Amino acid sequence: MLHLQPPQPQDLPAFFLTITLSLFFVILGELLVRKFSVNAFAVRKIIHLGMGIVVFFVPDYFESNFYPAAAALLFVVFNGYNTLTGRLRALHKETIEPEGSKGVNTYGSMLFPLAFLMLSLLLWESHKWILQTAMLVMGVGDSLAAIVGSTAGRRHIEHLTKSPKTLEGSFVMFGISFMLILLCLGFFRPEISGSIADRPLWMIVLFALFLALVATAVEALLSYGLDNLFIPFSVAYALYVLDVNHTVLLENFLLGGFFALLLALFSIRVKFLNNSGAVATFLLGTTIFGIGGITWTVPMLTFYLLSSVLSKLGKKRKAKFDLVFEKGSQRDAGQVYANGGIAWILMVVFSLTNDPAVFFAYLGTLAAVQADTWATEIGTMWPNPKAWLITSLREVPVGTSGGVSVPGTSGAFIGSLFICASALMVNAGWLYQFGVVQSMLLIGVSGLVASLVDSFFGATVQAQYYDPIREKVTERTHSFAPDGTLVENRLLKGVAFVNNDMVNTLCAVSGSALAYIVIGNLNIF
């Protein structure tokens, strides 16, 4: 819970000193950029590095979190204004990138103090050491990774994110993060409890390596400065759960994370996922497998493996739809978020609340995305199928957004039942407490209804375009002409920013919401 402590008079000198020091860094950086033509990117990263070190020591000089939170809020507003206006060039835009890439605007200067503000409200009272560790990793590791990647990076990582990333920068992020996490775990050892405490040194080193890999994956996957928010939150979450949730053991967390890493590498090898999808799967799998254990892992694997295999089957028959659907069978990070993001969030919520209803919501969202995938795959693979638009029941070509068919709808329900059956196979006690038949019906219907919700949004608000090259309706925003020229497709219907990933997310939300509402209203647990 967010908690703001009362202000302490003795904190005022430290407050003014922190504000003065921070402004000094900013003003000095701006002078270097404007008067001495020092590169703005390098200056911003040096400021980032300096502030990362400063905020590490902040909890040691303040009695309460009131003035640190106030200072952070001031800089959120100040940097947010500058992000909109661009008045301070040292804090606004990247100007050094790997050769051949294009710079992007960043919100990192605003998200840095926002991360500190939120973590100070959450952790100051009982887990200052987690706040300090998380902010140090982000402030130092991320800035050095960006400097090295931009100045010395030569090997670009393809199909990862819009902001260019290099292997050299990622190696620096990993190495610095590992050293900082290991040092913090040693320095703060008297304050650490839970499953991290009293573990042998080799296990602590292995944990530091693994948590550094998580921080590196977050840094590599995110653009626009979002890593400034999610690096400290990912590090803080892992440390917090292992410290307070005594059902989560360090060895299980490491084993689950290792399995997630193998799954991500396997997925690239067999072309289930591209690089961004594999990194996102590693992060999602680490949370699900490492914290949820076998009960949460098997339903997720059931969805992932069955849906991935189904997407590869009948490839020759489905080839005619390749230019209709927005994306192919090799999934990217956006599709991982759309299909597994809600399940990811529910796992985090459960690890902090232990509410059984959240587990039903988790099965509901997996049933929803499985139903949607199976409806699409089976509907397009079925010989000579007929499809009807869900809003008008008008017959439409198979593959049309919002179209439903008997084979596809049947496949959606059967796919949902597989999710519940997989959880029953690993003896998920809450399902047996609710009843086997009741659980199967609830999860099956949740998935089926969610797939129809997906079809409804696909027929109404999802963007559909006209491809002038092939003279057909498509979900793709652009097409390639025979000479390789990129041609922009014309929007026919729907809302431009509502793509297939967003519709899939709405589908996932509806499946989880239906299951959660039913269980919540029954008051069984």
pLDDT digits (tens, 9 = 90+) for 342-374: 999 999 999 999 999 999 999 999 999 999 989
Distance between CA atoms of residues 512 and 449, nearest Å: 11
More confident site: 479 or 243: 243
Share of the chain above pLDDT 70, in %: 94
Q: Is the pLDDT of residue 432 over 70?
A: yes
Backbone angles phi, psi at 390, to 5 degrees: -65, -25
Question: Of the given ranges (64-68, 296-300, 366-370, 397-401), which has the lowest mean pLDDT?
Answer: 397-401
- In contact, 431 and 524? CB cutoff 8 Å: no
Distance between CA atoms of residues 254 and 162, nearest Å: 30
Average model confidence (pLDDT) across the chain: 88
Q: What is the mean pLDDT of residues 150-172?
A: 83
Q: What is the mean pLDDT of residues 119-140?
A: 96
Helix/strand number for the chain, H first, E second: 19, 8
The C-alpha angle with vertex 36 and arms to 33 and 40, in degrees rounded to 5, equals 20
318 band by pLDDT with thresholds 50, 70 and 90? low
Question: Of the given ranges (88-97, 183-192, 236-245, 275-284), which has the lowest mean pLDDT?
Answer: 88-97
Side-chain half-sphere CA neighbours of 383 within 13 A? 0
92 band by pLDDT with thresholds 50, 70 and 90? low
Of all helices (H) and strands (E), which one includes residue 488? strand 486-488
Question: Of the given ranges (110-119, 250-259, 385-394), which has the lowest mean pLDDT?
Answer: 385-394
The confidence score (pLDDT) of residue 505 equals 93
Distance between CA atoms of residues 342 and 288, nearest Å: 12
70 band by pLDDT with thresholds 50, 70 and 90? very high
Q: Is the pLDDT of residue 198 over 80?
A: yes
Q: What is the mean pLDDT of residues 165-180?
A: 94
More confident site: 505 or 377: 505
Q: Is the pLDDT of residue 331 over 80?
A: no
Q: Is the pLDDT of residue 446 over 90?
A: yes
3 state SS of 36: helix
154 band by pLDDT with thresholds 50, 70 and 90? confident
105 band by pLDDT with thresholds 50, 70 and 90? low
More confident site: 485 or 252: 252
* CA-wise closest residue to 282 among 326, 323, 221: 221
Tell me the one-letter amino acid at 346: L
Distance between CA atoms of residues 185 and 183, nearest Å: 6
**DSSP conformation class of 156:** B
The confidence score (pLDDT) of residue 133 equals 97
326 band by pLDDT with thresholds 50, 70 and 90? very low
Within 8 A by CB and 6+ apart from 404, the residues are 375, 379, 387, 388, 389, 390, 452, 455
Q: Is the pLDDT of residue 109 over 80?
A: yes
451 band by pLDDT with thresholds 50, 70 and 90? very high
More confident site: 501 or 256: 256
- In contact, 446 and 368? CB cutoff 8 Å: yes
Distance between CA atoms of residues 408 and 415, nearest Å: 10
Decide the pairing of beta strands 486-488 and 472-474: unpaired
Q: What is the mean pLDDT of residues 152-163?
A: 78
Distance between CA atoms of residues 525 and 433, nearest Å: 9
Q: How many other CB atoms are there within 10 angstroms of residue 21's CB atom?
A: 12
Name the E strands within 182-238. none
The confidence score (pLDDT) of residue 228 equals 94
Of all helices (H) and strands (E), which one includes residue 279? helix 275-287
pLDDT tens for 261-280 read 999 999 899 888 889 999 99
The confidence score (pLDDT) of residue 86 equals 80
Within 8 A by CB and 6+ apart from 288, the residues are 256, 260, 296, 297, 300, 343, 344, 347
What tokens appear for 137 in the block?
């990793």
pTM score of the predicted model: 0.88
* CA-wise closest residue to 298 among 442, 423, 439, 431: 423
Q: Is the pLDDT of residue 94 over 60?
A: no
